[in-house]
């Protein structure tokens, strides 16, 4: 299944895609696409549900409790920044208030000079995981997240990375939550991002250092993962920080990004 959330920002309804790619209204079946429903979704026949029509798609997961991120998880991305490949996952958090829709504007912070892009495969947790021994058993599905980052705040202002990662609109999520059984193996999938039509990132999930199953098991040693939590698993090479000369986002540009099997995002960039 491909689940979506549709409607006005802050008032999204649950939905599902039918075989023709139309959004069907799930609101008479479940209250939302979130932790309360992901582990107990009833059997659904999308074509039997009412059409939602031409609607805005919001973040594909609602009421996210935690947005956990894995840094430097692509060997070729670590190389472009001159960093060592981690021997254990590098973890940081991104504020859930950063979550926005897959076609909503990304708003540059006031005074932003180095806002950057990071297309990432995201894991959506479907069942509670504490000291998990089979990470796959806790994965409801996958989606795209753009880990937008203000590099000056991240690297030049002391402390950890969270402050450069958490501005409003810095975590566009979706367009779809694709269930694990429908997507199949997340390895070996093309992952890419363009800015104004220029291909910036063009990688594959093959170069992930730590794979989703292990990531869930590892993180669950340090914190309990709850249904509806989201894990961003790292980005391939091609970020603005790694280019020579470096290049960053400007108001008026547009990002387009995608992962095979998970759809695409289109994100206009606007000033504060």
User: Which pLDDT belongs to residue 33?
Assistant: 98
What average pLDDT does this structure show over 139-157? 95
- Kindly tell me if the per-residue pLDDT of 214 is higher than 90: yes
- Kindly tell me if the per-residue pLDDT of 102 is higher than 90: yes
264 forms beta bridges with 258
Per-residue model confidence as pLDDT tens digits over 153-204: 998 888 788 999 999 999 999 999 999 999 999 999 999 999 999 999 999 9
The CA distance from 264 to 191, in Å, is 10
DSSP percent split of the chain into helix, strand, coil, nearest 5: 20, 30, 50
Per-residue model confidence as pLDDT tens digits over 56-76: 999 999 999 999 999 999 988
Query: Is the entire prediction scored with pTM above 0.95?
Result: yes
122 backbone dihedrals φ, ψ, rounded to 5°: -115, 140
The CA distance from 94 to 162, in Å, is 6
User: Which pLDDT belongs to residue 81?
Assistant: 73
SS (HEC) of 175-237: CCEEEHHHHCCCCCCEEEEEECCEEEEEEEHHHECCCHHHHHHHHHHHCCECCCCEEECCCCC
User: Which pLDDT belongs to residue 61?
Assistant: 98
- Kindly tell me if the per-residue pLDDT of 9 is higher than 80: yes
User: Which pLDDT belongs to residue 155?
Assistant: 86
Per-residue model confidence as pLDDT tens digits over 79-101: 777 778 889 999 999 999 999 99
The CA distance from 210 to 218, in Å, is 10
What average pLDDT does this structure show over 200-214? 96
User: Which pLDDT belongs to residue 253?
Assistant: 98
- Kindly tell me if the per-residue pLDDT of 115 is higher than 90: yes
- Kindly tell me if the per-residue pLDDT of 138 is higher than 90: yes
CATH fold of 61-270 reads Fumarylacetoacetate hydrolase; domain 2 (3.90.850)
User: Which pLDDT belongs to residue 272?
Assistant: 85
């Amino acid at each position: 299944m491909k689940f979506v959330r549709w409607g006005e920002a802050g008032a999204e309804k649950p939905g599902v895609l039918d075989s023709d790619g139309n959004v069907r209204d799930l609101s008479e079946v479940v209250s939302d696409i979130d932790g309360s429903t992901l582990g107990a979704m009833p059997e659904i026949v999308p074509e039997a549900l009412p059409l939602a029509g031409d609607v805005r798609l919001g973040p594909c997961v609602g009421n996210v409790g935690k947005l956990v991120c894995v840094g430097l998880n692509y060997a070729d991305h670590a190389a472009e920044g001159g960093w060592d490949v981690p021997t254990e996952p590098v973890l940081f958090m991104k504020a859930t208030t950063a979550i926005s829709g897959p076609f909503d504007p990304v708003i540059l912070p006031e005074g932003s000079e180095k806002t950057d892009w990071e297309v990432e495969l995201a894991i959506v947790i479907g069942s509670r995981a504490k000291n998990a021994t089979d990470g796959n058993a806790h994965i409801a599905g996958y989606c795209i997240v753009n880990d937008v980052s203000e590099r000056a705040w991240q690297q030049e202002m002391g402390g950890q990375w969270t402050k450069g990662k958490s501005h409003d609109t810095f975590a566009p999520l979706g367009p779809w939550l694709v269930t694990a059984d429908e997507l199949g193996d997340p390895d070996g999938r093309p992952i890419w991002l363009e800015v104004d039509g220029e291909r910036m990132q063009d990688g594959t999930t093959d170069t992930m250092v730590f794979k989703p199953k292990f990531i869930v098991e590892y993180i669950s040693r340090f914190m309990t993962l709850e249904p509806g939590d989201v894990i961003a698993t790292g980005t391939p090479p091609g970020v603005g920080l790694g280019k020579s000369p470096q290049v960053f986002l400007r108001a008026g540009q547009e990002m387009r990004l995608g992962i095979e099997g998970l759809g695409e995002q289109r994100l206009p960039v606007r000033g504060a």
